[in-house]
């Protein structure tokens, strides 16, 4: 057979086979389809013959998606940040004390090299025209990095104000973002050229009002929603609250504020890893600064035209609730107002995690009893601390090795032991080379202090009418004597002891100023802080210049 004849025969054979198989395949596919449930046809699934003319042109515009409504939680935040007028004199006056106290804490932090090594421009020597000033330094930075610097120094020593509920945190952390933006906007607008926020010039009174709002957003969110229980850090709320108020400061509309807030919720959230053994470390001290810089950065992106994500919280599978909150939704105890600032907690006496404040005060009171008996810390056999659940969850580290500063300032046993042994507790007692950290008696006594939960203390901690942070110490001596339990329910900075605390807050501010400025300049700052009328009308950039240090 010729090669041509062979190819002709093969082609005929393949054609016949295809004709035989085609009906069988069609029958199989038909039977298969009939066994499957019917599919819902979408507008894109119409049966049409393929044509080259159907190819999408490269410059064709996709049909716009139908507008979505924003999650109500975001709508409420944006509405409050944009429209609420702060009328509470109590809130504004309290904010004044928070403002001074927070700046003082920032200055104190500059005494610690571990903090100062994080500060300044990314590229040494860089100076930003009309930039943000960082108190106690000569840095002039862009508002994003300025927010990190200010947020880091005011938070470093864990000595600024506090809010305790289902979630805890430090609402004055938001001042890092607020102050950085206010200073930069003022300087930029005064320099001429393109105006920011309509040419707004912020005063300290404006800053205090924004502080009230940031405190409120962070604090109200914290009342019923525990982020720590799902492993997230409370600085998440700093980022959201700062974003809300900075958006308004930059002149964003209410709709743009919603966009910015949604960006804050979708942004990668900080985990609490750096606050707990075995990973406790210094990042916990700059986490709030990190949240502040992210808030300012996101607001500037929206100012530049970036949009938002309306259902960032509620979107199935991909939303915050499903990804980060075990599918649960936020709950709210009250509407946004001025409640948080009016009830905020001050750290007056000790640079220590707030759940320990009353335990340390109780130890200081017991020291007076020991002295009257001719006894000292060396005579203590053991101590029982009757406390609330949050204290146990966060700072009960009876047998955990104290590896660094971050371990010590978040260990109730360590802090109480230092008070018993030295009758003081200072920020200088936390570094590795401190006398307290190297004391065998502190270390021995620390391991003999046991925490036990009192359910009533836990209940009072969450009660909106009380919000006490109770600790009660019972000391047993080596000679068998057991001292009467010393109970302290509310620390000095609590609302129930606010008037008692005010002189101490100002004295604390004065102590923190003195190492940095001349006696005359310290007096000038203190007098201005005490004169609310004069302070309120001072423009932010002029006030910040008073803290510049060459």
Asked whether the beta carbons of 148 and 290 are under 8 A apart, the reply is yes
Q: Looking at residue 329, what is its pLDDT?
A: 97
**pLDDT score of 44 more than 90:** no
Asked whether the beta carbons of 140 and 131 are under 8 A apart, the reply is yes
Q: pLDDT per residue over 47-56, tens digit each? A: 333 333 333 4
**pLDDT score of 38 more than 70:** no
List the single range of 64-73, 225-234, 435-444, 493-502 with lowest mean pLDDT.
Answer: 64-73
**pLDDT score of 372 more than 50:** yes
Interaxial angle between packed helices 235-249 and 72-83, expressed in degrees from 0 to 180 and rounded to the nearest 10: 50
**pLDDT: is 31 or 121 the higher one?**
121
Q: Which two tokens stand for residue 21?
A: 């198989």
Q: What sign has the CA pseudo-torsion 93, 251, 162, 512?
A: negative
Interaxial angle between packed helices 143-155 and 89-109, expressed in degrees from 0 to 180 and rounded to the nearest 10: 90
Asked whether the beta carbons of 344 and 163 are under 8 A apart, the reply is yes
Q: Looking at residue 7, what is its pLDDT?
A: 45
Rounded Cα–Cα distance for residues 412 and 355 (Å): 8
Asked whether the beta carbons of 244 and 258 are under 8 A apart, the reply is no
Cβ atoms within 10 Å, residue 493: 25
Nearest to 410 by CA among 424, 390, 440: 390
Q: Looking at residue 39, what is its pLDDT?
A: 39
Q: How confident is the model at residue 495 (pLDDT cuts 50, 70, 90)?
A: confident
Q: Looking at residue 118, what is its pLDDT?
A: 97
For residues 491-511, average pLDDT:
92
Cross-strand bridge partners of residue 380: 477
Average pLDDT, the chain: 89
**pLDDT score of 35 more than 70:** no
Q: How far is CA 417 from CA 148, 370, 424, 438, in A?
A: 34, 14, 10, 13
Q: Looking at residue 63, what is its pLDDT?
A: 58
Q: How confident is the model at residue 19 (pLDDT cuts 50, 70, 90)?
A: very low
Q: pLDDT per residue over 119-144, tens digit each? A: 999 999 999 999 999 999 999 999 99
Q: pLDDT per residue over 424-440, tens digit each? A: 999 999 999 999 999 99
List the single range of 11-15, 138-142, 291-295, 318-322 with lowest mean pLDDT.
Answer: 11-15
Q: Which two tokens stand for residue 286?
A: 């700059």
Cβ atoms within 10 Å, residue 335: 11
Rounded Cα–Cα distance for residues 540 and 195 (Å): 17
HSE-CB of 283 using CA atoms within 13 angstroms:
14
Pairing type for strands 380-387 and 449-453 reads parallel
Rounded Cα–Cα distance for residues 343 and 311 (Å): 32
pTM, entire model = 0.79
Asked whether the beta carbons of 391 and 471 are under 8 A apart, the reply is yes
**pLDDT score of 494 more than 60:** yes
As a dihedral over the C-alpha atoms of residue 353, residue 358, residue 361, residue 365, rounded to 10 degrees, the angle is -160
Q: Using alpha carbons only, what angle is made at residue 148 by residues 408 and 516, rounded to the nearest 5 degrees?
A: 70
**pLDDT score of 106 more than 80:** yes
Q: Please name each of the domains of the chain with its CATH number.
A: 72-346 (1.10.4100.10), 354-491 (3.30.1330.120)
Asked whether the beta carbons of 343 and 467 are under 8 A apart, the reply is yes
Asked whether the beta carbons of 379 and 478 are under 8 A apart, the reply is yes
Rounded Cα–Cα distance for residues 143 and 299 (Å): 11
Q: pLDDT per residue over 136-176, tens digit each? A: 999 999 999 999 999 999 999 988 999 988 998 999 999 99
Most confidently predicted of 11-25, 48-62, 300-314, 349-363? 300-314
Asked whether the beta carbons of 437 and 445 are under 8 A apart, the reply is no
**pLDDT: is 374 or 351 the higher one?**
374
Rounded Cα–Cα distance for residues 265 and 70 (Å): 13
For residues 384-402, average pLDDT:
95
Nearest to 445 by CA among 469, 479, 422, 471: 422
Ranges of H-type helices in 35-120: 72-83, 89-109, 113-116
Helix, strand or coil, per DSSP, at residue 111? coil
HSE-CB of 339 using CA atoms within 13 angstroms:
16
Whether cis (ω within 30° of 0) applies to the bond prior to 332 is no
Rounded Cα–Cα distance for residues 296 and 311 (Å): 22
List the single range of 37-41, 224-228, 370-374 with lowest mean pLDDT.
Answer: 37-41
> Which helix (H) or strand (E) segment is 428 a member of?
none
Q: Looking at residue 67, what is its pLDDT?
A: 65
For residues 399-426, average pLDDT:
96
Buried b (16+ CB within 10 A) or exposed e, 281-304: ebebbbbbbbbbbbbbbbbbebbe
Rounded Cα–Cα distance for residues 377 and 443 (Å): 12
Q: Looking at residue 66, what is its pLDDT?
A: 60
For residues 235-245, average pLDDT:
98
Q: Looking at residue 65, what is its pLDDT?
A: 57
Q: How far is CA 378 from CA 372, 411, 450, 479, in A?
A: 15, 20, 17, 11
Q: pLDDT per residue over 417-473, tens digit each? A: 999 999 999 999 999 999 999 999 999 999 999 999 999 999 999 888 888 999 999
Q: pLDDT per residue over 248-292, tens digit each? A: 999 999 999 999 999 999 999 999 999 988 899 999 999 999 999
Q: How confident is the model at residue 5 (pLDDT cuts 50, 70, 90)?
A: very low
Q: Looking at residue 277, what is its pLDDT?
A: 84
For residues 166-191, average pLDDT:
96
Burial class of residue 451, CB neighbours in 10 A (0-12, 13-18, 19+): buried
Q: What sign has the CA pseudo-torsion 76, 82, 88, 94?
A: positive
For residues 363-383, average pLDDT:
98
């Amino acid at each position: 057979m010729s090669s041509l004849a062979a190819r002709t025969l093969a082609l005929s054979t393949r054609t016949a086979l295809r004709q035989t198989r085609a009906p069988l395949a069609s029958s199989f596919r038909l039977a298969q389809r009939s066994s499957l449930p019917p599919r819902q046809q979408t507008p894109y699934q119409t049966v049409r013959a393929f044509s080259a003319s159907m190819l999408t042109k490269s410059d064709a515009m996709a049909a716009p998606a139908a507008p979505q409504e924003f999650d109500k939680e975001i709508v409420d935040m944006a509405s409050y940040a944009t429209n609420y007028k702060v009328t509470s004199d109590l809130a504004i006056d309290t904010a004044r004390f928070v403002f001074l106290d927070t700046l003082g804490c920032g200055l104190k932090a500059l005494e610690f090299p571990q903090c100062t090594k994080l500060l300044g421009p990314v590229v040494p020597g860089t100076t930003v025209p009309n930039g943000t000033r960082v108190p106690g330094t000569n840095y002039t930075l862009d508002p994003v990095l300025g927010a990190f610097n200010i947020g880091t120094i005011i938070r470093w020593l864990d000595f600024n104000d506090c809010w305790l509920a289902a979630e805890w945190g430090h609402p004055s952390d938001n001042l890092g973002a607020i102050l950085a933006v206010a200073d930069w906007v003022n300087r930029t607008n005064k320099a001429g050229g393109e105006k920011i926020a309509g040419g707004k010039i912020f005063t300290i009174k404006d800053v205090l009002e924004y502080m009230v709002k940031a405190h409120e957003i962070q604090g109200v969110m914290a009342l019923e929603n525990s982020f720590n229980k799902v492993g997230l850090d409370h600085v998440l709320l700093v980022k959201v609250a700062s974003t809300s108020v900075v958006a308004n400061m930059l002149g964003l509309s209410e709709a743009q504020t919603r966009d910015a807030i949604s960006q804050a919720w979708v942004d990668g959230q900080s985990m609490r890893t750096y606050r707990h053994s075995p990973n406790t470390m210094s990042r916990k001290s700059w986490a709030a600064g990190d949240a502040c810089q992210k808030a300012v950065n996101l607001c500037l992106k929206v100012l530049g035209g970036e949009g938002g994500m309306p259902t960032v919280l509620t979107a199935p599978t991909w939303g915050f609730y499903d990804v980060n909150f075990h599918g649960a939704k936020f709950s709210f105890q009250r509407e946004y107002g001025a409640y948080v600032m009016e009830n905020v907690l001050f750290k007056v006496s000790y640079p220590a995690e707030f759940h320990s404040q009353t335990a340390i005060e109780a130890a200081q009171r017991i020291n007076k009893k020991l002295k009257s008996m001719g006894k000292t810390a060396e005579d203590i056999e053991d101590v029982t601390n009757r406390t609330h659940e949050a204290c146990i969850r966060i700072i009960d580290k009876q047998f955990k090795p104290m590896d660094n500063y971050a371990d010590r300032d978040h260990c109730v046993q360590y802090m109480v032991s230092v008070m018993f042994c030295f009758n003081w507790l200072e920020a200088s007692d936390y570094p590795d080379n401190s006398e307290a950290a190297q004391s065998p008696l502190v270390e021995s006594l620390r391991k003999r202090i046991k925490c036990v939960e009192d359910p009533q203390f836990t209940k009072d901690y969450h009660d909106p009418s009380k919000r006490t942070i109770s600790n009660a110490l019972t000391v047993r001596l080596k000679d068998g004597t057991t001292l009467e339990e010393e109970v302290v329910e509310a620390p000095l900075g609590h609302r129930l002891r606010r008037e008692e605390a005010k002189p101490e807050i100002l004295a604390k501010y004065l102590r923190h100023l003195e190492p940095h400025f001349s006696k005359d300049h310290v007096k000038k700052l203190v007098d201005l802080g005490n004169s609310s009328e004069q302070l309120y009308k001072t423009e932010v950039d002029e006030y910040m210049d008073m803290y510049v240090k060459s």
